[in-house]
Amino acid sequence: MSRPMREARVDLGALRANVEFLRAATAPAKCMVVVKAEGYGHGALEAARAAVEAGADWLGVVDIAEALALRAEGVAVPILAWLHGEDADFAAAIASGIDVGVSTRDQLERAAAAPGLAIVQLKFDTGLSRNGIEERDAAGMLARAAELERGGRIRVRGIFSHLANAGAVEDAAQLRRFEAVLVQAADAGLTPEVRHLAATAGALRIPAARFDLVRLGIGAYGLSPFDGETSASLGLRPVMELSAEIVSVKRVPSGSGVSYGYTHRTDGDSTLALVPLGYADGIPRSASSAAPVSINGKTYRVAGRVAMDQFVVDMGADTAREGDRAILFGDPATGVPSADDWAAAANTINYEIVTRIGPRVTRTFVS
């Protein structure tokens, strides 16, 4: 069976192994695997199912619509959705048993007014300065939430916040602020079942930040949240391997200009291999003439500009055949470049490299 021209091969066995490893490393905290943004580009449903098989207690998403899509496919574990616009369908969330993350008074009242018992988790801003209840509003929000809970309109199942990963001192300050919120919540009469603060980085580096639950995103996909730490150094296996079929091979003379603007010229008679992936597929244009590509066991570089649909690899004196595969990144333990290598070449982070891989790329799933 031939492989798709553009393929993101997703190793669900690796994903399960990562989740099992991270669960063991962070026990006895429960484990939420975050599958927002199509599972960081890997496929939300498949990632969710594999995570649950590996023992994930919870799934996390951003939009209620993402949670509803998982429910529609029969995913039954608890799901939390934490970012909402005016059009967010709280009634649908409640009807489908989705926990609603609440960051504002308006969201709290909308959840309470929707039909059924709203299961909410109050999100506090402890220093990231994104969404979440601010310190000055905390007492009022907690009192109102307790009142609505006593009235049978809501159940406050969780209290959570998110770290800025700005450094040890800043993380510690957020941790203290979160602990103060938990005391305030208890004083208000709330009895949350899950208190949670840490994503992958905090879960691994700050044991005191684990509380009842850790929210694992990037680590589940086998990538490191830390600069200068590889997947292997953390005990993780990258889940995605991105490759494409080489669709054209040609020999060109020395001095040939390659791709738009001729930012690359061959410096000898060269083989040019054309790879049908471009910025429309999430390949960063900023990786032009920089990022590594493996062909037949040897690593070359992108030659010249990444275009919308394609880029060129200058193989110098080597040759390849049309139909051979170009591997952009995968598990470096197999001798191919890593998502970290691509992130460095494109001046970004591994999260962005995998998450932006677009819909023209066929996901295939292996166990």
Ligand X SMILES: *Cc1c(COP(=O)(O)O)cnc(C)c1O
Residues annotated catalytic, as ranges: 36, 260
Q: What mask, x for binding ligand X by CB under 6 A, covers residues 253 to 272?
A: --------------------
Taking CA atoms, 149 is separated from 28, 111, 145, 153, in Å, by: 28, 11, 6, 6
Residue 355 binds to ligand X (criterion: CB under 6 A): no
Q: Closest CB to ligand X belongs to which residue? A: 217
**Which alpha helices (H) appear in 64-223, and where do they start and end?**
64-72, 90-95, 105-113, 135-150, 168-187, 200-205
Q: Which of 19, 34, 88, 303 binds ligand X (CB under 6 A)?
A: 34
Query: Taking CB under 6 A as the criterion, which residues in 153-182 touch ligand X?
Result: 162
DSSP-assigned beta bridge partners for residue 215: 32
Q: Which of 217, 222, 238, 292 binds ligand X (CB under 6 A)?
A: 217
DSSP 272-286: EEEE---GGGT--GG
Q: Which of 6, 23, 210, 215 binds ligand X (CB under 6 A)?
A: 215
DSSP 298-332: EEEEEES---SS-EEEE-TT----TT-EEEEES-G
Segment lying near ligand X (by CB under 6 A), choices 43-51, 209-217, 292-300, 325-333: 209-217
Give CA 151 to chain center in angstroms.
37
Residue 218 binds to ligand X (criterion: CB under 6 A): yes
CB atoms within 10 A of CB 52: 18
Residue 31 binds to ligand X (criterion: CB under 6 A): no
Q: What angle do CA 29, 350, 324 make, to 5 degrees?
A: 125
DSSP 198-245: --HHHHHH-GGG-TTEEEESTTTTT--SSTT--HHHHT----EEEEEE
Q: Which is nearer to ligand X, 215 or 264 (CB)?
A: 215
Cα(100)–Cα(157) distance, rounded to whole angstroms?
10
Query: Taking CB under 6 A as the criterion, which residues in 47-106 touch ligand X?
Result: 82
Angle between helices 64-72 and 44-53 (to 10 degrees): 70
CB of 225 to ligand X, least distance (A): 5
Residue 42 binds to ligand X (criterion: CB under 6 A): no
The residue with tokens 């598990």 is 331
Cα(346)–Cα(33) distance, rounded to whole angstroms?
27
Taking CA atoms, 11 is separated from 168, 209, 229, 237, 331, in Å, by: 34, 30, 21, 9, 10
CB of 219 to ligand X, least distance (A): 6
Q: Which of 14, 98, 216, 354 binds ligand X (CB under 6 A)?
A: 216
Q: Which of 26, 126, 200, 294 binds ligand X (CB under 6 A)?
A: 200
CB of 203 to ligand X, least distance (A): 7
Segment lying near ligand X (by CB under 6 A), choices 63-71, 196-204, 279-287, 294-302: 196-204
Residue 225 binds to ligand X (criterion: CB under 6 A): yes
Cα(321)–Cα(325) distance, rounded to whole angstroms?
9
Position 64: which residue type? I
CB of 216 to ligand X, least distance (A): 5
Q: Which is nearer to ligand X, 216 or 345 (CB)?
A: 216
CB of 313 to ligand X, least distance (A): 31
Q: Which of 14, 59, 188, 199 binds ligand X (CB under 6 A)?
A: 199
Total of chain residues touching ligand X, rule CB under 6 A:
13
CB of 259 to ligand X, least distance (A): 33
- Residues within the interface to ligand X (CB under 6 A): 34, 36, 82, 162, 199-201, 215-219, 225
